[in-house]
Structure 1
Amino acid sequence: MSSVAGHSTAPRGRSDHRPQRWWFASTAIPLIVATIGPLSHVLSIASLVSPWRITLPDGGRGLDDLGVGIADPQWEIISNIISLICGLAGNVLLLLNFVGRVRYIIALPLAILCWVLSSVILIAIELAMYIYVPPEPPAQIYSQGFWHAVLASCFYFFGSVLLMINMLGYFRGYYSQRFDLDDDQRTLILQTMMFFFWLAGGAGIFCALEGFTYADALYYADVSVLTIGFGDFAPKTEGGRGFLFIFQLLGIVFLGLVISSISRFAASIGADNIIRKHQLHAREATVGRAVSNESELRSRLGLPQKSNKNAAAAAAAAADSERRRSSLAKYGRFEFIGRTVTFREYKPQNGSASSGGKERNTRRASTSGEEKRKQRRQKLLLLPEEKDRFEAMRQIQDDTRRWKQYWALAAALLAFFVLWCFGALVFMLTEARSLDLKYFDALYFCWVALLTIGYGDISPRSNLGKPFFIVWSLLAVPIVTVLIQEMFSTVVTAFNLGTFIFADWTIMPRKGVVDDFLAAHPSIRDFLTRWQQRKRITRGFTGPNPADPSQKLNGNSTSLSTREGITPAPRVAKSEGNNHPPISVPAEKAPVEADTEQALARQLAIAIKSVAHDLRCSPPRRYSFEEWAQFTKLIRFSRPTAHSEDEKAEDGEEEEEDLVEWDWIGDNSPMLADIAEAEWVLDRLCESLARYMQRLQEVR
């Protein structure tokens, strides 16, 4: 059996739990097909009940709306019925596979066959009508029914191609044959079917009550349920107006449910397959660049290891940063910016070696482009401490969150502009005879329709424009909704934050805003502190007046920053976005206790209570490194392998503080869990409490 990248290329069974590949083909394609299938059926029904040719008044100079239908041949109607039956059968087989009633290997080939037949039959009818009974211009043209058939055949063919891609991935062994649909995916399929059933059924009722043709009734129902309301069609009878109450109310409910399900589905796909991959690449890049000591630094750069003649001297040299830099200076130039270490290797001039000091001042000879590309220029991350790796992971999380927001906004904007500009182009061409639209006018019309304004000064009038508008508008609604949601989470949120900041500093000043600003910007705080010190040195220091009791220090020294009104940043570690006290300290003052087992058990109970409270925080709370260190101590103290205090004293063993059993930027990092940090910590603390209680029972 052959394999590709570690995955078998043979078909996989129903109970195969190996990792999936081709996530779009395995997950997105079946749901896309299940949602566009009902739309194809609605279009096919419209093509069946409508004549495919009409006669225009005034010898072809009249509007398309005033055309009179021409009876279709009997073979066209029968073939159209067969096509609709095949399309419905394919959709039913797909649904039966989703619910596990029919096996994948049986249901999907039959569904593909049915949809291909449906598409082929419609295309054959269209070609036969064009060859044998075409409309006679200029008095006769194709009706909306014909163009509904064209769109239906396209959707059937598109769905069958997507299912073929899905089967290709299955035969290559990229995923199993079972679709484990979650609740959101099942809901999306059911709500889409209900919406299109309601749309098609409502069009039939309006057709009977108002005397519209079914094609016009379908267009009217679509415009009504999307709340566009161009005004070119309106109910005239009491029955039509009364049914509009029910139709509009339930239609908006069904539409809202479909849009909500599509938004959740798109967000879940993005989070599982795009955002996670971006975070994975960022972590891999960080791990690939991270070094914790000089030995790793030399190994990464391909430099010779330092001779270890004296272990004590080597340890002292490793602890001294300046000596470490000077020992490596003979190989190249190092630049330290924060945690980033950039190394540029010295290149001897004219191929001759020279001393490190001379190479630093020697001008490099001109090299070819290939030699420049081979020139070593490494950028590494110096992460010597556990806290450094924790902060690096926090930085990855923050960068990923910002990237997620702006990536989603950019994708929604791109989809919106493509839909807007492409739709304007199509409407400019389809309405050329009826309205003689320019492209700018078409852009204006699409903008009014996308935002559901519906002035009514421009509306589709042609037999091709109305069917295309139905499909275009139904695709536009979820795209516009997702765009609005992404704009709210990025642009609107940033605007609100800027408004609050402006109000805090101007018309509605908030107490402590200066202190918070200086605490968040330590560089500005340090600059102001130094400036105040220079100012006092310039004008001279003045001691307290002994005669003034209010200026007595009572033996306590007051810092310069406090006297000058500059409050230093607090040193108590806080988690981001919350003002809770550290977990190891309860809200009330607690006595200082040694880290005995009984003391840690009491701290464990306090921590469980505090973390349970954090579960209600919105946004979810993120803990600082110091809090994680305390959590780790409380989780580990009850382990079965933990030594007692007497055993530690006898064996001379002592657990290292802040030691964790995971790598903060590794695959087992708790910061990569699908649940909130508070929930993850609470689970581990409860497990620790259970182990402690079990130990007490064993002792008794």
Structure 2
Amino acid sequence: MLIASLQGFVGNFFLLCNFTNRIRYIIALPVTIIMWYIATAILIALTISMELYVPPIRPQQSYTQGYVYAIIAACMYMIAAMLLMVNMLGFFLGHYPQHFALTESQRTLILQTMLFFIWLAGGAAVFSKVESSYGRGVQDWSYVNSLYFCDVTILTVGFGDLYPTSDAGRGLVFPFSVGGIIMLGLMVSSISKFAGELGSEKIIRRHVERSRTRTFGRTVTSSLELEHRQTLHNGERPIISAPFPMQLQEDRQKTIKIADDPDEVKKNRRAGTGLQSLRRVMTMTSQVRTRKPKLILLREEKDHFDAMRHIQHDTTRFKHWYALLMSMIAFGVLWCAGAMVFWLCERYVQGMTYFQALYFCYVSLLTIGYGDLAPQSNAGRPFFVLWSLIAVPTMTILVSDLGETVINKFKHGTNGLADFTILPKEGVWHGVVDRLPAIATMLRWVQRKTQEHEAKKRLEEGFPAGPDPEEPAAMTLDELATDEPTRDELARRLPIAIRKTADDMKHDVRKRYSYEEWVEFTKLIRFSAKKEEDKETDDDEDEGLVDWDWIGEDSPMMSKDSEAKFVLDRLCESLNRYLKQVIASNSIPLERARKVLPASGLDDIGEALARAPTAEDDEFMVDDVGPRNETAMGRVQELGAQQRGVRI
């Protein structure tokens, strides 16, 4: 047993060195696999030999808890070694890199797990020694029983079947329980975060890609394409190869002729023949319209944007409910399978039935711990230690997923009910009133009159009326479409946008910008790509669009980074391009500019341009009005002042 423990320790040491990049993958992983397989072979050989040569005399005798722990350790060593072999096979086949790219949360989880098990094993040794020496009860405080006691204490289950009787043991419960519960909470939090990363990286991104591809495949951009795809979807031939029936063609031609001739229109209006023919044509057309497939007609860029936002919303909802489903499945398997094992272990010791085992597992999973049922057999207690350490993170993840879905829905429903009943919220009846046009019109008239009266009163008292002129109002989509700012105006907006996105990235990483904000950002990104005299004024440029499709593979919403980070990177690139253009347009040598341009900010850049070589320098060009660096200095200093929020 000691040799097997030593082999397992060596394997864990090499694996940890590989995680910290101390030993190469190609060396550490084979050593770990070999050590764990050797430990597995030793433990299996010992347990089988005992069963063959010195079996217990049943039912008076049974295997000790150490024997059961040996079986559990052999199984876990074998499973872990097999998983590492799969990883190494993937490395040889080119599917995995030759190193484990651990994130910060994964490294923290490894450290927290090691400290937790050291705390658990060390506490068991201390309680075993203290209670064996100073305890006044008749309880067996062997190391394995002390390990079971420490596990029940840290998990706050507290069955009461094993408890300290000495004052020293009771005093040690205070620091041990507090430290253990804190370590357990940190470890469970890291496990929950790690599970969320796994779901986000693999399953969720695959769901986003499938939804995006499906939406992109159902997207058309013109009425002709929509009509053509509708025809193919209905299993019909195109109109050019499948003309109308003869009778329908005659009616259609007659209708067109009547519509073109005013005299015929007057004559047939009284007879009604033209209307009858037109009614037949409209009947045939309506039959086609009723079979319209679920195609998305994205005529404008905003439709693409809204479609991708819908995919994001649907993906977020799918992520939460999928995580809840997986957590419930894990909880169900852990509950039912654990009850089966406890029933097999305890049925001969305390006559436990399967229903009682289900009840015991449920009480343990919720950390209620009545104490009426508790594991007593030598096989039940070791399995409870393993089972409980798996069950606690599972329950924590389940409760977290319930909070994101069911509890969140219940909370919104409760708040909505309270808004209409006992805790009325201001403006809650606006949605109901808007559905009644007469009442809504009357209320708007009253509100307008009230605002006019308040504005008149403020003017009489000497206060200005209307919005604050210093506060920029949010532009609507129509205003953005007709907005044609100059290059200098966009240059003044650029530092303000950079400061705004930097604040968003600092305070609200998950912020999602509206379509109008994206239009403004894309204008600021694109204006520095061309010179002003080469700038085209087509529709895309007026709308501020960029060279990506919102539901395409290069969409900013498909980026792994947040929207604020994506926009901030592009705005900084635009600022860099603009500064280079300013320097180049004013004939400042780029090498000389790099020497004098510090990286401390736009204000320092402006001061550096002021320190640039003057007209006396041979390498610096001047024109008829003086050195050109004055204009560049003024522009950059103006950008720096705007970045600080100072008006020049």
State the TM-score, normalizing by the size of structure 1.
0.68
Deviation at 1:662, TM superposition (A): 1.2
Say whether the 8 Å CA contact 1:604–1:689 is kept in structure 2. Answer: yes
1:652 shift after superposition:
9.7
Q: What are the superposed Cα offsets for residues 262-309 of structure 1, whole Å, 9 maximum, x if unpaired?
A: 11111111111111111011111111221112454467x4xxxxxxxx
1:372-429 Cα deviation digits (max 9, x unpaired): xxxx996432212111111110010000010011111111111111111111121122
Q: Alignment partner for residue 506 of structure 1, among 417, 421, 424?
A: 421
Q: Cα distance 1:466–1:566, how it changes in 2: closer, same or farther (>3 A)?
A: farther
1:245 equivalenced with 2:174 (yes/no): yes
How far apart in 1 are the matches of 2:579 and 2:237? 65
Unaligned ranges ≥5, structure 2: 133-140, 249-279, 450-468, 587-628, 630-648
Q: Secondary structure at the match of 1:512?
A: coil
Q: Identify which of 414, 417, 433 aligns with 2:348.
A: 433
Change (3 A) 1:695 1:282: same
Over residues 324-364 of structure 1, what are the superposed CA-to-partner deviations in whole Å (9 max), with x where a residue is unaligned?
A: xxxx7xx47xxxxxxxxxx423499xxx99739699989x9
The structure 1 residue matched to 2:208, chosen from 263, 271, 279, is: 279
**Equivalent position SS for 2:541:** coil
* Of 536, 558, 565, the match for 1:672: 558
Please name the residue that 1:263 is paired with: 192
Check if 1:254 corresponds to 2:162: no
Q: Is the 8 A contact 1:143 1:463 kept in 2?
A: yes
Please point out which of 585, 595, 600 is paired with 2:485: 595
Match of 1:147 in 2: 68
Shift of 1:481: 0.8
Question: 1:179 aligned to 2:100?
Answer: yes
Change (3 A) 1:561 1:292: farther
1:121 equivalent in structure 2: 42
Following the alignment from structure 2 to structure 1, what is the Cα–Cα distance between the partners of residues 165 and 150? Answer: 14
Residue 347 to residue 566, structure 1, CA distance change in 2 (3 Å):
farther
Give yes or no for the alignment of 1:203 onto 2:124.
Answer: yes
Cα distance, 1:442 vs structure 2: 1.4
* Cα 1:156/1:613, change in 2 over 3 Å: closer
Q: Is the 8 A contact 2:484 2:542 kept in 1?
A: no
The aligned counterpart of 2:258 is: none
Indicate yes or no: 2:152 matched with 1:223. Answer: yes
Aligned residue pairs total 513
Asked if 1:469 is matched to 2:384, the reply is: yes
Aligned to 1:642: 531
* Structure-to-structure mapping, 1:394-433, within 5 angstroms: 394-433=309-348
1:471 alignment partner AA: L
C-alpha distance in 1, partners of 2:538/2:180? Answer: 75
CA distance in 2 between partners of 1:87 and 1:590 (Å): 64
Q: Please state how far the C-alpha of 1:609 moved relative to its aligned partner.
A: 3.9
Q: Is the 8 A contact 1:532 1:564 kept in 2?
A: no
1:308 matched residue in structure 2: none
Does the aligned pair in 2 maintain the 1:235–1:241 contact within 8 Å? Answer: yes
Is 1:659 the counterpart of 2:550 in the alignment?
A: no
Q: Give CA deviations for 1:409-455 in whole Å, capped at 9, x if unaligned.
A: 11111111111111112112211022212222212111111111111
Kindly indicate whether the alpha-carbon contact (under 8 Å) linking 1:648 and 1:654 is maintained by their aligned counterparts in 2: no
- Pick closer, same or farther for the CA change 1:463–1:168 going to 2, 3 Å: same
Counterpart amino acid of 2:72? L
1:206 to partner: Cα distance = 1.0
Stretches of structure 1 lacking an aligned partner (at least 5 in a row): 1-79, 302-327, 333-342, 365-375, 519-523, 534-558, 568-584
**3-state SS of paired residue (2:532):** coil
Matches within 5 A, 1:264-663: 264-294=193-223, 296-297=225-226, 301=229, 331=231, 343-346=233-236, 355=245, 379-515=294-430, 517=431, 525=434, 528-529=436-437, 562-563=444-445, 587-588=471-472, 595-615=485-505, 618=508, 620-639=510-529, 641-644=530-533, 655-663=541-549
Show the counterpart of 1:7: none
- Paired residue secondary structure (1:228): coil
Matched to 2:444, the amino acid is: T
- Residues 399/251 of structure 1: CA separation in 2 closer, same or farther (3 Å cut): same
Residue 349 of structure 2 aligns to a residue in which SS? coil
Q: Which sits farther off after the overlay, 494-503 or 125-134?
A: 494-503
Task: Assess, with a 3 A threshold, how the Cα gap between structure 1 residues 687 and 104 changes in structure 2: closer, same or farther.
Answer: closer
C-alpha distance in 1 between matches for 2:409 and 2:295: 33
Rounded to whole Å, the distance in 2 between the matches of 1:110 and 1:150 is 22
Shift of 1:149: 1.2
Deviation at 1:564, TM superposition (A): 8.7
- AA aligned to 1:94 is L
Cα distance in 1, alignment partners of residues 541 and 349 from structure 2:
84
Closer, same or farther: CA 499–609 of 1 in aligned 2, 3 Å: same
3-state SS of paired residue (2:62): strand
Q: After the TM superposition, which of the residue ranges 493-502 and 225-234 deviates more from structure 2?
A: 493-502
Note closer, same or farther for the CA distance 1:630–1:590 as it changes in structure 2 (3 Å cut): closer
1:169-228 Cα offsets, whole Å, 9 max, x none, are 112110111122222111111211111111111111111111211111111111111111
Could you say which residue in structure 2 is the equivalent of 1:697?
A: 583
Q: Any idea what SS the aligned residue of 2:574 has?
A: helix
In the alignment, what sits opposite 2:26? Answer: 105
SS of 1:141 mapped into structure 2: coil
Over residues 578-619 of structure 1, what are the superposed CA-to-partner deviations in whole Å (9 max), with x where a residue is unaligned? xxxxxxx97356999961122222333443344344345557
Alignment counterpart, residue 163 of structure 1, candidates 84, 100, 116? 84
Task: Give the alignment's Cα RMSD to 1 decimal.
Answer: 3.3
Q: Distance in 1 between matches of 2:236 and 2:539?
A: 47
User: Which structure is larger by alpha-carbon Rg, 1 or 2?
Assistant: 2
Structure 1's 589 and 292: CA in aligned 2 closer, same or farther, altered over 3 A? closer
Structure 1 residues 621 and 160 mapped into 2: Cα distance closer, same or farther (>3 Å)? Answer: closer
CA deviation vs aligned residue, 1:85-137 (integer Å, no higher than 9, x gap)? 11112111212222223332222222212111211211111111111111112
Partner AA of 1:125 in structure 2: L
Q: Pick the structure with more helix per residue.
A: 2
Per mean C-alpha deviation after superposition, the further-off stretch among 689-698 and 134-143 is 689-698
C-alpha distance after superposition, 1:6-47 (max 9, x if no partner): xxxxxxxxxxxxxxxxxxxxxxxxxxxxxxxxxxxxxxxxxx
- For residue 453 of structure 1, give the secondary structure of its aligned residue in structure 2: coil
In structure 2, the CA distance between the partners of 1:638 and 1:353, relative to structure 1 (3 Å rule), is: closer
Q: Which amino acid aligns with 2:557?
A: M
| Greater relative CO (CA pairs within 8 A, separation 6+) | 1
User: 1:654 & 1:291 partners in 2: Cα distance?
Assistant: 19
CA–CA distance in 2 between the matches of 1:391 and 1:687? Answer: 27
Q: Are the aligned partners of 1:225 and 1:248 in contact in 2 as well (CA < 8 Å)? A: yes
Aligned residue for 1:232, secondary structure, equals coil
Read off the aligned partner of 1:669 and give its amino acid letter.
Answer: S
Partner of 1:546: none
Over the matched positions of the two proteins, sequence identity in percent amounts to: 46
In structure 2, give the amino acid aligned to 1:242: G
Amino acid at match of 2:528: S
Partner of 1:63: none
Take 2:89 and 2:474, find their aligned partners in 1: how far apart are those partners?
65
- Quick one: which of 555, 563, 569 aligns to 1:683? 569
Provide the rounded CA distance (Å) in 1 between the counterparts of 2:2 and 2:496: 71
Q: Distance in 1 between matches of 2:297 and 2:470?
A: 36
